[in-house]
Amino acid sequence: MSGRNAVIRCDTVSGTVIARTAAPYAAKKPRVLVIIPAWNEQGAVGTVVAGVHRDFPEADVLVVNDGSPDQTAAVATRAGATVLDLPLNLGVGGAMRAGYKYAQRNGYDIAIQLDADGQHDSAEIVTLINALTEQHADLIIGARFAGTGSYEVSGPRAWAMKFLSVTLSRITRTRLTDTTSGFKAGNRRAIELFSRDYPSEYLGDTVEALVIAARSGLRIGQVGVVMRPRLAGEPSHNPAKAALFLGRAIMALAIALSRPPMDATWQSSLLADQESRSN
């Protein structure tokens, strides 16, 4: 059964999948899943899905409808995506954990996180995938402030991003300039980890996820990408929200650093899974 144009229902908040699909690729060709978390994005998600099919037709597309009351699920389905329909709004982190569970259970080799508002250019997916190989990384961030494009921020939001970048660069032992980017690519090690432990708190899907990845031994890198304006809706940035972002960013980092390091259970599980697939 094709991985496209299907609707999947989750019966629990944990993201348990009632039905799932998997379309085998040619031998040794990596299977790529583009995960698009979406909440009230009926005005943009169809164009985003169509862009992925156009720019990277080898990939399957999974839209995780995060309890949207609008027509997000219907629009995504018509555009040719598989839709994972959550029963209530869990936030980006909860939606992404459900997406990673789907990727892990269906044996995908690479998972791409792509925003539903059109700011991430689907033509850059191949850039992230190539960076995984070239940098020998497990997780690649599509960075807005890495010498590509003209995206700019200022005021408290810029201060928060700079603080997070400096701190997380030390934790990950690599230079990161955009730690709050939601445009990422992960290999099977990242998929396995995030299917088990992916934070749902505010900024957890970016800041805390990087701390979890680094402490679990994942190799993290970045590559410059160009960001675009939203296709629909209004950006949420204003001075008051920027100041709030600064406070929440610091709190998110404090929560992330207070978590105990992950044990090696997930690594053993991954090795067992790899052995079973090779037999």
Question: Contact at 8 Å (CB) between 20 and 1?
Answer: no
Please, is 20 exposed, middle or buried when counting C-beta atoms within 10 Å of its C-beta (0-12, 13-18, 19+)? middle
CA 192 to CA 279: how far, in whole Å? 19
User: Strand 110-113 vs strand 184-186: parallel, antiparallel, or unpaired?
Assistant: antiparallel
Confidence at residue 69, expressed as pLDDT on a 0 to 100 scale: 96
232: confidence class by pLDDT, cuts 50, 70, 90:
low
pLDDT tens readout for residues 89-139: 999 999 999 999 999 999 999 999 999 999 999 999 999 999 999 999 999
Does the pLDDT at position 252 exceed 90? no
Does the pLDDT at position 229 exceed 70? no
Cα–Cα distance list, 80 to 21, 47, 104, 239, 265 (Å): 14, 11, 21, 38, 36
**CA-closest candidate to residue 221, choices 181, 271, 255:** 181
Does the pLDDT at position 233 exceed 60? no
Confidence at residue 200, expressed as pLDDT on a 0 to 100 scale: 77
The whole-model pTM stands at 0.79
CA 125 to CA 52: how far, in whole Å? 8
**CA-closest candidate to residue 139, choices 66, 198, 200:** 198
The first and second tokens of residue 110, run together, are 């690479």
Portion of the chain with pLDDT greater than 70, in percent: 68
Which domains does the chain possess?
A: 7-269 (3.90.550.10)
Does the pLDDT at position 195 exceed 90? yes
Mean pLDDT within 75-101? 96
Highest averaged pLDDT of the listed ranges 6-10, 24-28, 82-86, 275-279: 82-86
What element of type H or E holds 272? helix 265-278
Confidence at residue 23, expressed as pLDDT on a 0 to 100 scale: 39
The SS3 call for residue 201 is: coil
Q: Which residue has the higher pLDDT, 88 or 22?
A: 88
- Name residue, tokens 């496209």: 4
- Name residue, tokens 């954990």: 97
Confidence at residue 271, expressed as pLDDT on a 0 to 100 scale: 54
Question: Contact at 8 Å (CB) between 80 and 7?
Answer: no
Question: Contact at 8 Å (CB) between 277 and 231?
Answer: no
Cα–Cα distance list, 123 to 79, 83, 92, 148 (Å): 17, 22, 22, 14
The first and second tokens of residue 15, run together, are 């993201």
Mean pLDDT within 219-241? 72
Confidence at residue 222, expressed as pLDDT on a 0 to 100 scale: 95
Please, is 268 exposed, middle or buried when counting C-beta atoms within 10 Å of its C-beta (0-12, 13-18, 19+)? exposed
241: confidence class by pLDDT, cuts 50, 70, 90:
low
Does the pLDDT at position 11 exceed 80? no
Portion of the chain with pLDDT greater than 90, in percent: 52
What is the tally of helices (H) and strands (E) in the chain?
A: 9, 8
Other CB atoms within 10 A of residue 53 CB: 17
